[in-house]
């Protein structure tokens, strides 16, 4: 999974109401999230001083600046179905945010990333900050810490005050989503070592960002006692949003400059990953372009000339345009499905605007 999983890159110079909505509700969620994590750190202190430090690092990691798209999606779906925002849904949003970060910690380890939203990844922080401990200690501690974060997520949801039957349904949704995203991560890793076609990519991506969008939207709908028709429509919309977002985010990895994205470009190529635009390029009708791209895949350090060559090959092979077209198709399907629900108009507008942002951002990278 790429670094931008559920991370929103701002549009410069454009006034977007969906961003203001995220800022407003994200601040409410962050306040509740900080309170929950402060209490968790205090409890950890009663057990062992080092575990207290670990919980403190989790709090710092989770509270780094971000748009809180995952938890806001849950809150807004709940609001769109019930017409209200209450303390109970804010507590569930704490759980959703922790759930998302449990996935990110594992993702950072697998992708060997050192940075996440302007700070060190947890496994890097544990390795660097607690010397003389080594990389094995840092990565192992981060794995255990991600598991703890998932447990904290379920704790927040269980204690939210919603009826037990409804909470159990959401917890089942969460566990199914967690299983799905881990299955997709195994395939994503496997793809680094084999040839992949578009059909197999779709199988993998169907449980990646698509599963997280599904968890976040359906949790809000279930807690608001939405109709089964709306739940079905939102589930389909979430899957389409996930596909569209995944493709867009992978294109960003190849084409966004470092000062915009916060990381070096073309890291997926360096790691021999197989996002959709690269798969399309590798299956180009022009064998010289696909062979040239293969020579760059898996090369650990790409210089600027090689990065520009990779981008040129992705463009000229048709891989970039084919992936963009597919992302737009999924985005349009998602908007159509959202509009068929009985969500409140302002919430429909939020999701339509956000999906429109995904489509618009595809035009930046050429």
Q: For residue range 216-228, list pLDDT tens digits in order.
A: 999 999 999 999 9
CA within 13 Å, CB half, 298: 9
For residues 216 and 155, membership in a common domain is answered with no
Residue 299 burial by Cβ neighbours in a 10 Å radius (0-12, 13-18, 19+)? middle
For residues 152 and 194, membership in a common domain is answered with no
For residues 248 and 358, membership in a common domain is answered with yes
For residues 122 and 198, membership in a common domain is answered with no
Distance CA 69, CA 212 (A): 11
Query: Which tokens is 356 given?
Result: 């429109």
CA within 13 Å, CB half, 263: 24
Q: Which of 161, 194, 229 is the last residue of a domain?
A: 161
| Within a domain: 11 | no
Distance CA 345, CA 81 (A): 10
| Within a domain: 10 | no
| Within a domain: 25 | yes
Distance CA 330, CA 245 (A): 9
Q: For residue range 82-126, list pLDDT tens digits in order.
A: 999 999 999 999 999 999 999 999 999 999 999 899 899 999 999
pTM: 0.93
For residues 36 and 122, membership in a common domain is answered with yes
| Within a domain: 63 | yes
For residues 335 and 246, membership in a common domain is answered with yes
Q: For residue range 127-167, list pLDDT tens digits in order.
A: 998 777 789 999 999 999 999 999 999 999 999 999 999 99
For residues 202 and 92, membership in a common domain is answered with no
Quick check: 15 pLDDT over 90? no
| Within a domain: 173 | no
CB 269 within 8 A of CB 300: no
The reply to whether omega before 208 is within 30° of 0 (cis) is no
Residues 6 or more apart whose Cβ sits within 8 Å of residue 202: 243
Q: Which of 105, 135, 161 is the last residue of a domain?
A: 161
Q: Percentage of residues in the chain with pLDDT exceeding 90?
A: 89
For residues 90 and 133, membership in a common domain is answered with yes
Rounded to 5 degrees, what are φ and ψ at 28?
-65, -45
Task: Give the total number of structural domains in the chain.
Answer: 2
| Within a domain: 318 | yes
Query: Which tokens is 183 given?
Result: 């299955």
Q: For residue range 241-288, list pLDDT tens digits in order.
A: 999 999 999 999 999 988 777 778 999 999 999 999 999 999 999 999
For residues 218 and 354, membership in a common domain is answered with yes
**Helix/strand/coil for 134:** coil
Chain-wide mean pLDDT for the chain? Answer: 93
| Within a domain: 236 | yes
Rounded to 5 degrees, what are φ and ψ at 2?
-80, 170
For residues 148 and 217, membership in a common domain is answered with no
| Within a domain: 7 | no
Distance CA 120, CA 128 (A): 9
Q: Which of 132, 161, 190 is the last residue of a domain?
A: 161
Region 210-214: what's the mean pLDDT?
97
CATH of the domain at 361: 1.10.600.10
For residues 200 and 149, membership in a common domain is answered with no
**Helix/strand/coil for 214:** helix
**What residues make up the domain containing 253?**
179-366
- Burial call 162-182: b when 16+ CB within 10 Å, e when fewer: beeeebebbbebbeebbebbe
For residues 245 and 313, membership in a common domain is answered with yes
């Amino acid at each position: 999974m790429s670094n931008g999983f559920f991370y929103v890159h701002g549009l410069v110079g454009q006034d977007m109401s969906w961003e203001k909505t995220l800022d407003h509700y994200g601040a409410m969620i962050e306040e509740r999230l900080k309170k929950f994590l402060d209490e968790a750190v205090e409890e950890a202190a009663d057990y062992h001083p080092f575990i207290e430090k670990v919980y403190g690092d989790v709090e710092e990691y989770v509270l780094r600046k971000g748009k809180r798209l995952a938890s806001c999606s849950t809150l807004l779906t709940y609001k769109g179905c019930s017409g209200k925002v209450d303390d109970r849904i804010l507590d569930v949003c704490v759980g959703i945010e922790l759930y998302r970060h449990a996935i990110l910690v594992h993702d950072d380890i697998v992708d060997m990333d050192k940075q996440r939203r302007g700070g060190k990844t947890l496994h890097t922080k544990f390795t660097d900050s607690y010397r003389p401990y080594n990389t094995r200690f840092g990565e192992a501690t981060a794995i255990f810490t991600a598991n703890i974060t998932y447990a904290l997520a379920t704790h927040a949801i269980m204690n939210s005050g919603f009826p037990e039957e409804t909470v159990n349904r959401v917890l089942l949704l969460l566990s199914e989503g967690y299983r799905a995203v881990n299955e997709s991560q195994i395939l994503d890793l496997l793809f680094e070592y084999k040839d992949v076609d578009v059909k197999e990519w779709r199988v993998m991506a169907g449980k990646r960002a698509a599963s997280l969008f599904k968890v976040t939207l359906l949790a809000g709908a279930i807690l608001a006692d939405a109709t089964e028709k709306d739940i079905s429509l939102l589930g389909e919309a979430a899957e389409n949003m996930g596909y569209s977002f995944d493709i867009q985010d992978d294109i960003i990895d190849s084409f966004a400059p470092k000062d915009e994205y916060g990381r070096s470009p073309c890291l997926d190529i360096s790691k021999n990953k197989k996002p959709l635009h690269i798969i399309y390029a590798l299956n180009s009708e022009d064998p010289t372009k696909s062979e040239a791209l293969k020579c760059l895949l898996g090369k650990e350090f790409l210089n600027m000339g090689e990065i520009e060559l990779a981008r040129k090959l992705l463009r000229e092979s048709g891989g970039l345009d084919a992936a963009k077209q597919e992302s737009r198709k999924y985005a349009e399907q998602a908007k159509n499905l959202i509009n068929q629900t009985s969500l409140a108009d302002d919430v429909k507008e939020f999701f339509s605007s956000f999906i429109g942002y995904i489509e618009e951002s595809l035009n930046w990278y050429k």
